[in-house]
Structure 1
């Protein structure tokens, strides 16, 4: 467990361990990073705008630089190396779920945008590894009588969308793309998380590795509850996309309450009936 200043706010992520995990990632293991980058590119084709000053915040620069060769690549440190007002597009590339202060990351990204600049982020959401979470909790309670932090907590889409509003983005939108990946067994899934660079980097994690008996029980229980065709098991990865714009006077704004020029009853062709007290 990492020692921290008792007067400092609690940290979610051990950044040193996260860096070690990412250094162990392999090209084959980064398929979800490539998928996320491709999906962001596809979404940008639907925006009627040409972006010439792009910045990308990521823990895997080689993947995102290949997808966006003209972009400035920025490491997802707590303090981002972004110049205020320097970019018309900021992408947060599948690393925001590890942020100690996700709202702070979003605020820094917004400050780096020109007025009416676009932010688009992708991160793992609350349904990610829901199967593994359930099995780990079930088995650990049976074996040890308690629970320990083994998988990163991830936000639900409604809460993640609210982060955009808290950061001050205009026209915020959040949506989810749930993907199912199949593995021979739970051990193969856990091994693949290492190849992704997504192993446990929680600041309060337990250092003790899983025992062979523990892993065997997890494999058996996982196969019982989450089996798939061909004798394999399924695992969910929930990609949540966050989109927002830096505020600008040119953007559409909601009407003031009471400013409607026509009655709803007239539009529907019905009579308006007042409610009784």
Structure 2
């Protein structure tokens, strides 16, 4: 395997699937959070008059597909790495969902299969995110829309710090126990590299509060979001690790705020009808005239 491929292998995908299989029985505990995230993402559909007929829901855990159908999308396919999670989502939807067990890194769909693809809080365990975005763009028909949200840098940062400090104290070293998250400034660039038109990346902050750290740990496990970083120390952690980390987590008036920062990505599959940036030198009016100022050459002083 090449060095480049080694660098891409950050997560244990088999472990991610097993965690999601187990979480199929417990994901209902965190449904309000997942529903809030899905609503925030799908609200972006209100910004377009386009009507969609064929949608793919990637990793929606039973909350995205029903919302798409409620918005009038007649054909929705749900895909998840975990067949168990798919079955749980179908049960929640009354058995109406069309579903495919598949890997985000190897999409099992022909080019142009969908005019809308939605990935709500589901792409952060993908090793090759740029490659996955290329496949998503190919699965879109021309002028199709891609909407995604994933945790951004700063999410769970207090937990990351607390676990690191506790492990350094107990073992004299630190193992990665919280997934790495991308920076907001990288979002639009990732979309552009994948061939999307009109790429946009912005940030949503989701307010959460837990009375105790144990509640936060339990919800992460219930959602299938326990650590799957390949470099993580797989030895049984010291018994004092979680209590020590929990004790050092900063607390506010409502308890512990784990700070969920969502990067929201919006991109379109290229189509000739879309707006294009103007060619350099094609402007017909001077910026100085529009601003009501005097245009000067570089280095020219006022009054000359």
- Which TM-score applies when normalising by structure 2? 0.82
User: Which moved further from structure 2: 166-175 or 185-194?
Assistant: 185-194
2:269 paired residue among 219, 223, 246: 246
| 2: CA distance, partners of 1:53 / 1:59 | 16
Alignment-derived partner of residue 76 in structure 2: 71
- 1:239 to 1:276, Cα distance in 2 relative to 1, 3 A: closer
Q: 67-76 or 124-133: which moved more?
A: 67-76
**Residue in 1 that maps onto 2:40:** 39
Q: Could you list the runs of 5+ residues in structure 2 that have no partner in the other structure?
A: 70-74, 82-102
Which one of 12, 27, 30 corresponds to residue 14 of structure 1? 12
> C-alpha distance in 1, partners of 2:68/2:293?
54
Contact 1:117/1:245 (<8 A) preserved: yes
Shift of 1:7: 7.8
- CA gap of 1:59–1:19, structure 2 versus 1, over 3 A, is farther
Q: Please name the residue that 1:110 is paired with.
A: 137
What is the distance in 2 between the residues matched to 1:89 and 1:75?
Answer: 16
Q: Say what the alpha-carbon RMSD is for the aligned residues.
A: 2.0
Query: How big is the shift at 1:59?
Result: 6.1
Task: Note if 1:176 corresponds to 2:200.
Answer: no
Q: Is it true that 1:23 corresponds to 2:21 in the alignment?
A: yes
Whole-Å Cα distance in 1 between the matches of residues 169 and 39 of structure 2?
Answer: 42
**Cα offset for 1:210?**
2.9
Corresponding position of 1:269: 292
How far, CA to CA, are the matches of 1:85 and 1:6 in structure 2? 31
Match among 228, 232, 248 for residue 252 of structure 2: 228
Inter-CA distance 71–125: structure 2 relative to 1 (3 Å threshold): same
Q: Give the TM-score, by structure 1 length.
A: 0.90
Which ranges of structure 1 fall in alignment gaps of 5 or more residues?
Answer: none
Equivalent residue for 2:189, pick from 162, 167, 173: 162
Distance 1:122 1:214 in 2: 31
4+ aligned runs moved over 6 Å, structure 1: 5-8
- Which residue does 2:50 correspond to in 1? 49
Q: Which moved more, 1:73-82 or 1:155-164?
A: 73-82
Contact 1:82 1:108 in 2 (8 A): no
Of the structure 1 ranges 74-83 and 149-158, higher mean CA displacement relative to structure 2 is found in 74-83
Mean CA deviation greater in 152-161 or 26-35: 26-35
Q: Say how many residue pairs are matched.
A: 268
CA contact (8 A) 2:163 2:242 kept: no
